[in-house]
Amino acid sequence: MKDPFFSETILDWYARNGRDLPWRRTRDPYAIWISEIILQQTRIAQGTAYWERFMARFPDVETLAEADEDEVLRLWEGLGYYSRARNLHAAAKQIAAAGSFPDTLDGIRSLRGIGDYTAAAIGSIAFGLDAAVLDGNVYRVLSRYFGIATPVGSTAAKKEFSDLARELLPPGKAADFNQGIMDFGAIQCTPVSPACGTCPLSGSCRAFKTDRTGILPVKREAKAASVRHFSYVYLRSGGMTAFRKRPAGDIWQGLWEPLLFESPDGTGALPEWILTLSPVLLREGFRHQLTHRTLLTDFYRAETEEKPELPEGYRWIKEQDLDRFGKPRLVEILLEILEGKD
């Protein structure tokens, strides 16, 4: 081990301060896998309720494998990054076909939607494999404690930090060490105002000793978010409304939405056939932030007695059945505006 003091302090800290989370009370790889995927882009407070709902509805991999994709996506509503749910569903089918959950790092990594981090997390926690995890918390703790200024997000950093994490891993204790260092980063060595005053590592922490906790870890410059201009039209006719399942190749694949018209700058988006229905503007320029994009959306309602022919991909669905379709959060918000809840 490269630095026994560091590793033992993390283990000791974890034994006293680790968070009691429902998926930590099991070694079931399925339950751990679901928690890891949910928590990839979601905070624990929000993710826990989703994990509990997911496990109640799909208690094992077979149930998930046999489920309808729409139902999986519906349960995912509000979490965002829907490709996670689709990959989860596809991977459940892979596991069900193989007959059991893979128990090697390569086997776990061969599942859809699983990269190095998730494979190491599941491998160490469920199977006790000596694999080191690397997430934002781990980067932060290692960068500060060892005083490493390599910009996080670069290929060089990935190699440097994963080598270091591997060297620090106490053999046979990967589960506690991995969860410990991640909790330590989330609770003690936080991004802003780390609790150095009560930190058991402060005596040998390079960032603390050189007053660089506000500088480390160094981040690569983020790309500016691009802007897209959407116009949604909720078209109603005889208790039905026009919706489509979003196609592949763009955000929100497989989720449902009302008539969408997109334009480069937000002007002239609505086609003539919609304008003849005198659409009512309910909300203008509604801002919705995704990780790499800002969506600015105008939202309209229109009503017609005769059902017009719909653009390709759209179909009429009963308004009373809308709850059965998985929708992106933006569409949920628009429906709330329509119902006057906003």
Active site residues: 36
CA pair distance 143, 208, nearest whole angstrom: 11
Shortest Cβ distance from residue 116 to ligand SF4 (Å)? 24
Shortest Cβ distance from residue 216 to ligand SF4 (Å)? 8
Which of these ranges, 26-34, 111-119, 139-147, 226-234, lies near ligand SF4 under the rule CB under 6 A? 139-147
Q: What stretches of 44-202 show up as alpha helix (H) in DSSP?
A: 44-57, 61-66, 69-76, 83-98, 105-109, 116-127, 136-146, 155-168, 174-187
Question: 6 with 167: CB under 8 angstroms?
Answer: no
Three-state secondary structure call for residue 256: strand
User: If binding means CB under 6 A, how many residues of this protein chain bind ligand SF4?
Assistant: 15
Shortest Cβ distance from residue 190 to ligand SF4 (Å)? 8
- Pick the binder of ligand SF4 from 207, 259, 274, 333 (CB under 6 A): 207
What is the DSSP secondary structure assignment for residue 250, as one 8-state letter?
A: S
CA 3 to chain centre: 33
Site for ligand SF4 in 213-232 (CB under 6 A): 213
Three-state secondary structure call for residue 182: helix
Nearer to ligand SF4, 17 or 46 (CB): 17
Site for ligand SF4 in 1-20 (CB under 6 A): none
CA pair distance 259, 243, nearest whole angstrom: 6
> Across the chain, where does the E strand assignment appear?
226-237, 240-245, 256-263, 280-289, 293-303, 314-318
Which of these ranges, 97-105, 193-201, 303-311, 329-337, lies near ligand SF4 under the rule CB under 6 A? 193-201
- Position 180 contacts ligand SF4 (CB under 6 A): no
Shortest Cβ distance from residue 134 to ligand SF4 (Å)? 17
- Pick the binder of ligand SF4 from 150, 202, 263, 304 (CB under 6 A): 202
- Position 144 contacts ligand SF4 (CB under 6 A): yes
- Position 33 contacts ligand SF4 (CB under 6 A): no
Question: 232 with 271: CB under 8 angstroms?
Answer: no
Question: 170 with 11: CB under 8 angstroms?
Answer: yes
Residues that bind ligand SF4 (CB under 6 A): 141, 144-145, 188-189, 194-196, 199, 201-202, 205, 207-208, 213
